[in-house]
């Protein structure tokens, strides 16, 4: 379902926003199941017209230090994923944002395609993939300790979510399948220095390494912008403080 952020103060506005307020929410991957809350509900409720950004929750960084999208039930070790909800589930016309149903062989379906359609209807909305969260922050500490690990982590997340190169499965995915869906990446590390799940990796150097990780996101996002001409942002929500690192 949709979890709202408070409206940001003028000092917190995005560069280039022209002084307008920024209002955002999380849309959770799993809301389409028990709560039966879909992207179309954001549009029909009127919420979409008031939003300027949505964080899609969540993406995972796995034990190989890379972003990926898989379908696997949680084992209690932060190793799950739901590619089906993300981009493989088919929507019929009645449940689709624009009233057009999915066809069997299209490479992008699920929440990603519905969010792409929502952005087309409400072009003021920017969409961020939120990495981590309470369940999937296990590997941030471990893979932010060296420059090489940070480079690999960031490159993999950009490849999957911004370049849109999705693993092929259940008739969906492929090179560039999700290109243009996400406008940036939200880092929801819960939490640097500890206090999260007992299985999370933790280091006394987390504060410094978190800063270096964000710098690496910024560096690679700048390279991507120079290549594509399309600005991409990163956001940090460590301890929900909302420290910003955006283009």
Measured from the Cβ of residue 228, the count of other Cβ atoms closer than 10 Å reads: 12
Distance CA 92, CA 108 (A): 14
Measured from the Cβ of residue 226, the count of other Cβ atoms closer than 10 Å reads: 8
The backbone torsions φ and ψ at residue 166, rounded to the nearest 5 degrees and listed phi first, read -95, 145
Task: Tell me 88's DSSP state.
Answer: I
Specify whether 190 is catalytic. yes
Measured from the Cβ of residue 146, the count of other Cβ atoms closer than 10 Å reads: 11
From 74, 190, 237, 244, the catalytic residue? 190
The dihedral region occupied by 225, where left means phi > 0, alpha psi between -120 and 50, and beta the remainder, is alpha
Catalytic residues: 190
């Amino acid at each position: 379902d949709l979890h709202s952020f408070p409206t940001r103060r003028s000092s917190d506005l995005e560069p280039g926003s022209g002084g307008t307020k920024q209002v955002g929410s999380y849309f959770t991957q799993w809301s389409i199941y028990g709560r039966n809350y879909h992207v179309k509900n954001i549009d029909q409720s009127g919420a979409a017209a008031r939003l300027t950004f949505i964080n899609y929750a969540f993406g995972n960084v796995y034990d190989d230090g890379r972003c990926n999208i898989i379908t696997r039930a949680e084992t209690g070790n932060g190793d799950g994923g739901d590619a089906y909800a993300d981009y493989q589930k088919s929507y019929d016309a009645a449940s689709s944002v624009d009233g057009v149903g999915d066809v069997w062989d299209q490479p992008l379906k699920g929440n990603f395609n519905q969010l792409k359609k929502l952005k087309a209807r409400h072009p003021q909305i920017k969409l961020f993939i939120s990495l981590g969260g309470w369940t999937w922050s296990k590997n941030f500490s471990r893979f932010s300790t060296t420059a090489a690990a940070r480079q690999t982590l960031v490159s993999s997340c950009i490849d999957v979510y911004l370049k849109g190169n999705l693993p092929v499965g259940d008739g969906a995915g492929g090179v560039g399948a999700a290109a243009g869906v996400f406008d940036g990446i939200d880092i929801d590390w819960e939490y640097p220095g500890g206090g999260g799940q007992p299985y999370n990796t933790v280091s006394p150097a987390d504060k410094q390494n978190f800063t270096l990780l964000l710098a690496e996101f910024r560096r690679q996002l700048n390279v991507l912008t120079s290549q594509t001409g399309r600005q991409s942002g990163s956001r940090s929500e460590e301890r929900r403080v909302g420290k910003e690192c955006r283009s």
